[in-house]
Chain A
Amino acid sequence: MTELLVDPFRLPYMQRALLEVVLLGVLAGAVGVFVVLRRLAFVADALTHTVFPGIVIAFLLDQSILLGALAFGLLTAVLLAGIGAHRRVGDDAALAILLTSFFSLGVVLVSRARTFASDLTVFLFGRVLTVDRADLVQTLALAVLVLAVLAALRKELVLRAFDPAGAAAMGYRTVVLDLVLNVLIALVVVAAVKAVGTVLVIALIVVPAAAARLLADRVASMTALACLLGVAGGWLGLATSYRVSVDHGVRLASGATIVVVLVALFLAAASAAPLRRLAEGMVRR
């Protein structure tokens, strides 16, 4: 067991990668709870694609990728909040248009770079093993910021998710709360882009929270469980990809391996949930 879970992390680059996925596991798990409770998985997925051109532009201009992604994340968060106003188009269609147009813009831009193919791969799928100290500091700063906002607005965000009409009747501006949540999702995408890429970050956000939703019946326990599963998936995924690569000479992409492990954890939760309900029912009777 230690051979799998501890030994790979004697190497400095593996330690940095582990620290990065642990931070991301907690961050994405905590935000993912609200994404799942609000049924915003598709919105979050759109955000992961719309920050892509921001990353590419920043890369081509040799600027901070964080700032590029942030600018497009905020732009999308604002556009998404406005989308609800157009009833004839419908949320889903508007989202799809936004997602694909921004994403194509990113692909068009990246195709102008000479190192097109390898760059595109990094943006789309990440490269967690090359995470350096600066990346870690950045992820930590984003995690502190996002978790602080989530903690501060927790009760209002839960009320908004549970009973939007009731929240509005109490005088809460639900549009503002929605905008804040969209910005937080965008920040998580930004934080995770280097490690797992824009395509797989949605798994980090949605899968642990969805698994936790199956097992928990309080928002607090769901949050704890989502963070725990996110961290476990990251750790186990990294360790697995290392062991398989080193011992069997089969190179496994670490980001994708993490997602595969997360999905396995979700399936385990899904098969455990009916058992739990059964036990619950027997206790009540």
Chain B
Amino acid sequence: MGSEQQPLLAIRHAAVAYDRLPVVEDVDGTVGPGQSVALIGPNGAGKSTLIKAVLGLLPVVRGSIEVLGRSPASARSEVAYVPQADTLDPEFPVSALQVVLMGRYRRIGWVRRAARADRAAARSALEAVGLSERASARFGVLSGGQRQRVLLARAIAQEPRLLLLDEPFNGVDAVSQDLLLAALQRLRAEGAAVVMATHDLGLAHLACDEVCLLNRHQVGFGPIGTTLTPELLRATYGGQALALRGDAVIVAKP
């Protein structure tokens, strides 16, 4: 990353606490415009905790986290978060388009209703994930992959400069996976930075150019080709990593 460019996300020797106990420590790295970083590590490694800290929802107890040079809480309008689709109630009475429109709520402001421009932005975001024709379908009748695409569309409608995703490819079919990857690629081409927590090393290779290996502390941070090595993966996953023929590593799913 060029030194003349301010990083969108700057993490400096940060430790993040949950209930006053540090959950993840010594995280250090920057993410610039157009970059994409995969957070990789076993369950409980602190991936979601780190994402919550970047959203300003958990305290940084040592070091610092800055988003666009500001504190995370004051930069929220520039950040979009994509939750896992299966954490949301499929019976909830909202349409796909209404879910996407939620991404505009902060811009619309209190009391006021969505304007024509907001609806247009929501429709074009839905189109960007290939779901225009399902706009009026209830969120819960869509497939898991389609629901995940709706949530990405909601984030796109926020017009974020930093996008945070929690396991965006869990339970997602191949078609949805390709559409998600393409939409993420477009966002990056427009200058947004992407940070995603994932279990899937293969998808990390497809979707990201950098990787941050976590297991309660940072094991490695750097370009995916030089950082996703058997040694560092073994250090990240401990006993869950199995060596194959010396150079490949399989990570047993927890």
Q: Is the CB of B93 within 8 A of A170?
A: no
Interface size class of B (residues with CB under 8 A): 20 to 34
Q: Is the CB of A163 within 8 A of B102?
A: yes
> 8 Å CB contacts to A: which residues of B117-176?
138, 154, 158, 164
Q: Is the CB of A156 within 8 A of B110?
A: yes
A213 to B94, CA, bound (A): 12
Q: Is the CB of A218 within 8 A of B83?
A: no
A153 to B111, CA, bound (A): 6
* In the complex, B17 has a CB within 8 A of chain A: no
* A218 touches which of B94, B108, B164 (Cβ 8 Å): B94
**Binding site of A, secondary structure by majority: helix, strand, loop or mixed?**
helix
* In the complex, A283 has a CB within 8 A of chain B: no
B154 partner residues in chain A, CB cutoff 8 A: 166
Q: Is the CB of B94 within 8 A of A155?
A: no
* B111 touches which of A152, A217, A222 (Cβ 8 Å): A152
A216 to B93, CA, bound (A): 7
Q: Mark B92-106, 1 if CB is under 8 A from A, else 0.
A: 111100110010011
Q: Is the CB of B105 within 8 A of A159?
A: yes
B105 partner residues in chain A, CB cutoff 8 A: 155-156, 159, 170
> 8 Å CB contacts to B: which residues of A181-229?
213, 216-219, 221-222
**Which of the listed residues A156, A159, A163, A219 has the most CB atoms from chain B within 10 Å of its own CB?**
A163
* In the complex, A93 has a CB within 8 A of chain B: no
Q: Is the CB of A166 within 8 A of B92?
A: no
Q: Is the CB of A159 within 8 A of B102?
A: yes
Q: Is the CB of B102 within 8 A of A161?
A: no
Q: Is the CB of B111 within 8 A of A170?
A: no
Q: Is the CB of B81 within 8 A of A166?
A: yes
Assess A152 versus B94: contact at CB under 8 Å? Given A166-B81, A169-B76: no
Q: Is the CB of A155 within 8 A of B93?
A: no
Q: Is the CB of B93 within 8 A of A217?
A: yes
A171 partner residues in chain B, CB cutoff 8 A: 73, 76-77, 106
Q: Is the CB of A219 within 8 A of B102?
A: no
A37 to B89, CA, bound (A): 10
A191 to B152, CA, bound (A): 43
**Binding site of B, secondary structure by majority: helix, strand, loop or mixed?**
mixed
A169 to B165, CA, bound (A): 12
* In the complex, B55 has a CB within 8 A of chain A: yes
Q: Is the CB of A165 within 8 A of B110?
A: no
Interface size class of A (residues with CB under 8 A): 20 to 34
A18 to B92, CA, bound (A): 33
**Which of the listed residues B88, B102, B158 has the most CB atoms from chain A within 10 Å of its own CB?**
B102
* B83 touches which of A37, A165, A221, A222 (Cβ 8 Å): A165
Task: Name which residue of chain A comes closest to B57, CB basis.
Answer: A168
> 8 Å CB contacts to B: which residues of A151-182?
152-153, 155-156, 158-159, 161-163, 165-166, 168-171
A168 partner residues in chain B, CB cutoff 8 A: 55, 57
* In the complex, B87 has a CB within 8 A of chain A: yes
Assess A161 versus B81: contact at CB under 8 Å? Given A170-B105, A171-B76: no
A217 to B110, CA, bound (A): 25
A140 to B88, CA, bound (A): 36
Task: Name which residue of chain A comes closest to B81, CB basis.
Answer: A169
Task: Name which residue of chain A comes closest to B102, CB basis.
Answer: A159
A219 to B95, CA, bound (A): 10
Residues of A within 8 A of B (CB): 37, 152-153, 155-156, 158-159, 161-163, 165-166, 168-171, 213, 216-219, 221-222
Residues of B within 8 A of A (CB): 55, 57, 73, 76-77, 79-81, 83, 87-89, 92-95, 98-99, 102, 105-106, 108, 110-111, 113-114, 138, 154, 158, 164
User: Would you give 9 A-B contacts (Cβ < 8 Å), ordered by A?
Assistant: A155-B105, A158-B94, A162-B89, A162-B92, A165-B83, A169-B57, A169-B83, A170-B76, A218-B98
In the complex, the 6 A-B pairs of residues with the closest C-beta atoms, listed nearest first: A169-B81, A171-B76, A152-B111, A217-B138, A217-B93, A169-B55
